[in-house]
């Protein structure tokens, strides 16, 4: 399914076109993957509608691809034909800069994204460097594994960046799909930690308690105790300021949002140094994912038997899946079956 030109979905409800392309040929250190399933992500809408435009068109979208190794380049011996592998948002990085050498290749200036800078998984075949493909644990079907490769891996990175130790207290502000996942993985990885959730809607707060949060309150409420780490998954500023208020000395707020909206920016003027920043509080954003995040998260997810609910669409109905995603008709993660 090819994206030829950028447009808002309202103006062009079928931005992707079914096309016949030659099978891609793997380079020396690349593998050819016969894609079986590819998750559908909000980022695809950002690409199609021009908020995160691909550098060249046409392009094949899709950065949560799972498939079987079909062939390998002459210097690519890491996988056997038939192995089930996944490809995530990180498609490649330079491998030589200080970020790459330190395992933070998500920060590399030459970071390339799957399905944006290179053709992705909305296709029967794709190629990827063997170092940027991950074995998929046997407990998952391709459709179950696909949605884990984006939200799950990035949620894992945000949890890792809090620097939380088991027993430390964790807050989550915003309680959408990615925060649900983080709550579940935090409970598994840090069984002695208590989790506090800040969410606007009473339904979300009730759901948070059901999933094991010890406390759930509104965005601006004070938690019953100060928290060592808080993860913000909202698109606005109020939760950032309110979360800083709830941090313990030395605590860290991790902002897991690609961009923040301007609507409530004046809230930042309420930032009060002694209340919100004093006592060595830190703020850190999350950008992309590293390979370590994807591998560690897949292992954790297998250990937890974390199986997302999925709603499958045939590849040629990718436009319908995207339209439903945009209309927030969420019945589990949407996955294209190829």
Q: Which residues bind Zn ion (CB under 5 A)?
A: 41, 43, 93-94, 97, 100, 108, 150
Nearer to Zn ion, 97 or 283 (CB): 97
CA distance 76 to 224: 54
Nearer to Zn ion, 152 or 171 (CB): 152
| Least distance between Zn ion and beta carbon 154 (Å) | 8
Residue 214: exposure state from Cβ atoms within 10 A (0-12, 13-18, ≥19): middle
| Least distance between Zn ion and beta carbon 150 (Å) | 3
- Find, among 3, 222, 254, the residue nearest to 120 by Cα: 3
User: 58: cis peptide before it, omega within 30°?
Assistant: yes
Nearer to Zn ion, 197 or 333 (CB): 333
Nearer to Zn ion, 108 or 322 (CB): 108
CA distance 44 to 70: 26
CA distance 257 to 132: 23
Continuous H helices in the chain:
42-48, 98-101, 142-145, 151-161, 177-189, 202-210, 238-246, 291-304, 318-326
Phi, psi of 317 (to 5 degrees): -105, 25
Nearer to Zn ion, 94 or 236 (CB): 94
**Cβ-based neighbours of 202, under 8 Å, separated by 6 or more:** none
Nearer to Zn ion, 84 or 100 (CB): 100
Six token digits for residue 207:
């759901």
| Least distance between Zn ion and beta carbon 104 (Å) | 9
| Least distance between Zn ion and beta carbon 179 (Å) | 15
CA distance 207 to 193: 19
Q: Chain centroid to CA 175: how far?
A: 15
Nearer to Zn ion, 223 or 257 (CB): 257
Six token digits for residue 288:
């992309």
Six token digits for residue 94:
């330079």
| Least distance between Zn ion and beta carbon 22 (Å) | 27
DSSP 118: B
- Find, among 287, 231, 234, 277, the residue nearest to 254 by Cα: 231
Nearer to Zn ion, 97 or 211 (CB): 97
**Distances in whole angstroms, Cα of residue 302 to Cα of each of 78, 161, 251:** 21, 21, 30
| Least distance between Zn ion and beta carbon 15 (Å) | 17
Nearer to Zn ion, 187 or 260 (CB): 260
Torsion angle (degrees, nearest 10) of CA 280, 105, 37, 152:
-10
| Least distance between Zn ion and beta carbon 333 (Å) | 10
| Least distance between Zn ion and beta carbon 122 (Å) | 13
| Least distance between Zn ion and beta carbon 32 (Å) | 23
């Amino acid at each position: 399914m090819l994206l030829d030109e950028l447009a808002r979905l309202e103006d062009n409800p079928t931005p992707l076109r079914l096309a016949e392309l030659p099978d891609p040929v793997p380079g020396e250190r690349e593998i050819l993957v016969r894609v079986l399933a590819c998750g559908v992500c909000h980022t695809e809408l950002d690409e199609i509608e021009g908020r995160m435009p691909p550098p060249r068109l046409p392009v094949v979208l899709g950065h949560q691809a799972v498939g079987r190794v079909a062939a390998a380049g002459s210097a690519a011996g890491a996988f056997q034909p038939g192995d089930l592998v996944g490809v995530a948002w990180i498609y490649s990085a330079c491998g030589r800069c200080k970020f790459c050498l330190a395992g933070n290749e998500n920060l590399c200036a030459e970071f390339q994204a799957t399905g944006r800078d290179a053709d992705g998984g909305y296709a029967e075949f794709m190629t990827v460097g063997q170092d940027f493909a991950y074995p998929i644990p046997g407990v998952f079907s391709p459709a179950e594994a696909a949605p884990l490769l984006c939200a799950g891996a990035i949620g894992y990175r945000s949890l890792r960046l809090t620097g939380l130790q088991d027993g430390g207290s964790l807050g989550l502000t915003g309680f959408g799909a990615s925060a649900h996942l983080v709550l579940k993985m935090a409970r598994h990885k840090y069984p002695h930690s208590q989790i506090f959730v800040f969410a606007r809607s009473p339904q979300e707060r009730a759901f948070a308690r059901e999933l094991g949060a010890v406390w759930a309150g509104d965005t601006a409420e004070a938690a019953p105790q100060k928290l060592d780490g808080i993860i913000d998954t909202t698109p606005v500023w109020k939760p950032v300021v309110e979360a800083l208020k709830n941090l313990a000395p030395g605590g860290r707020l991790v902002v897991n949002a690609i961009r923040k909206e301007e609507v409530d920016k004046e809230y930042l003027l309420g930032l009060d140094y002694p209340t919100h920043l004093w006592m060595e509080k830190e703020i850190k954003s999350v950008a992309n994912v590293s390979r370590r995040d994807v591998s560690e998260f897949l292992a954790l997810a297998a250990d937890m038997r974390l199986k997302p609910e999925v709603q499958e669409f045939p590849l040629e109905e990718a436009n319908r899946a995207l339209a439903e995603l945009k209309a927030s008709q969420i019945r589990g993660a949407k996955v294209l079956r190829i």
